[in-house]
Amino acid sequence: MKYENILIIKMSSLGDILHALPFAAALRTHFKDSKISWLVQPEFADFIPLGGVIDEVIEFDKKGFKKLSWTEKIKYFFHMRRMLRSKKFDLAIDMQGLFKSAVFAALSGSKTRIGYCEMREFSSLVSKPICGKNRNAHVIERYLDVARFLGAEIKKIEFPMPNLSEAEESLKEKLKTLNFGKNNGGLDEKNSFGGGFDIGVKYVVFAIGARWRTKEWIMAHFAKLAQMITKDGYFIVLAGAKSEKEKGEAICAQCEKIIDLTGETTLKELAVLIKHCAFFVSADTGPLHLATAFQKPLAALYGPTLAARTGPYANKNASVIVSPAPCAGCLKKSCRDWRCMREITPEAVYKVFKEKINV
């Protein structure tokens, strides 16, 4: 069936949006002449691949919405309803599967509303769940089953990316300011910042946080791993949110040849940082899937979550290290006996690093 105006609803988080990119690419390949819009929260809007894949980004400011009075919230919903219906969507695809996304699917005015197989919070009452043969497989395949339902033929997994050229220049300037590659064991200033993103040093990125406390790796383990890797001639760059700044400082205090960029990069700059690294380490968190999209050599550390469902996908350079704890895979966001991530040792991760980098 042909659709002229398609709305994808996937508002957050970074990892979820990255998982949905292959679906968006498949949708564009199948519906070449359709207008495809994407409803997303502002903090992730810059990473929607406008141009070749997505024609329009529509933003829902969830944080700002929460601050509104009840009267203002009602006015906002009527505004969104008018705006969405003016676009005459004939297909709305709820890839979030939550109450908030179901509200916007209903407001869209589209008579055809579908979603992926895991529809929660009564969202299945608004949009029809599409469950294909991969309903128990990796989330990317579950999303792609929706594209297959619409007639798309999936020949390969693609992660369409936004334009990162401006972010490459701005990140390079930030690294210059921090003397990265100068006076700290790297090359001199003349040679450190050549053409493209050649900054003259080899570096490894640690993404040190996670949305769930139980998914985070131990900071002392990160510090010890940093000490081991820097002895092989590599620098360490820490990445993460502003809320992880204190953790980053604690790691830096125990290691040389390391810089802390937690809370210092935009989303696109983070992508550039990961794109050009030699190796990547993190738990189950959004930046991990950036590294996967760029096919980077990496170590993904899994404790309470399941790599088979949300791990690095379609990246032959990825290695998943699952906690040896018998309770691993519990899916708990809090735990009184939190040991799974502690039992993934720095030595185990360093072994993967040596294998991938051949140092």
> pLDDT (tens digit, 9 = 90+) per residue, 204-215?
999 998 888 899
pTM over 0.85: yes
CATH superfamily of 5-149: Glycogen Phosphorylase B; (3.40.50.2000)
Whether the predicted pLDDT of 186 surpasses 90: no
Same fold yes or no, 5-149 and 165-357:
yes
User: Is the pLDDT higher at 189 or at 295?
Assistant: 295
Q: How distant, in Å, are the alpha carbons of 40, 101, 251, 353 from that of 74?
A: 20, 17, 46, 53
Whether the predicted pLDDT of 198 surpasses 80: no
* Domain limits, the chain: 5-149, 165-357
pLDDT level of residue 190 (50, 70, 90 thresholds)? very low
Residue 124, preceding peptide bond in cis (omega within 30° of 0): no
Per-residue pLDDT tens digits for 21-44: 999 999 999 999 999 999 999 999
What is the rounded CA–CA span in Å between residue 229 and residue 203?
A: 10
Q: Is 206 helix (H, G, I), strand (E, B) or coil?
A: strand
Whether the predicted pLDDT of 231 surpasses 70: yes
Lowest mean pLDDT among 8-12, 95-99, 160-164, 316-320: 160-164
Q: What percent of the chain has pLDDT over 70?
A: 94
E strands of the chain, at which residues? Answer: 5-9, 35-40, 56-59, 91-94, 113-116, 128-130, 203-207, 235-239, 258-260, 279-283, 298-302, 318-322
Give all strands of the β-sheet with 235-239 in edge-to-edge order: 258-260, 235-239, 203-207, 279-283, 298-302, 318-322
pLDDT level of residue 57 (50, 70, 90 thresholds)? very high
Comparing CA positions, the residue from 298, 301, 312 lying closest to residue 343 is: 301
Range from 71-80, 160-169, 174-183 that averages highest in pLDDT: 71-80
Average of per-residue pLDDT values in the chain: 91
| CA angle, 20 then 28 then 51, to 5° | 90
Comparing CA positions, the residue from 286, 281, 251, 283 lying closest to residue 265 is: 286
Whether the predicted pLDDT of 188 surpasses 50: no
Estimate the crossing angle of helix 99-107 against helix 70-86, to 10 degrees. 50
User: Is the pLDDT higher at 180 or at 22?
Assistant: 22
The pLDDT of residue 257 is 87
Per-residue pLDDT tens digits for 319-338: 999 999 999 999 888 888 88
| CA angle, 328 then 331 then 336, to 5° | 75
Q: What percent of the chain has pLDDT over 90?
A: 77
The pLDDT of residue 171 is 92
Per-residue pLDDT tens digits for 256-290: 889 999 999 999 999 999 999 999 999 999 999 99
The pLDDT of residue 189 is 38
Q: Choose which CATH entry (3.40.190.10, 3.30.70.330, 3.40.50.2000, 3.30.450.20) describes domain 165-357.
A: 3.40.50.2000
pLDDT level of residue 358 (50, 70, 90 thresholds)? confident
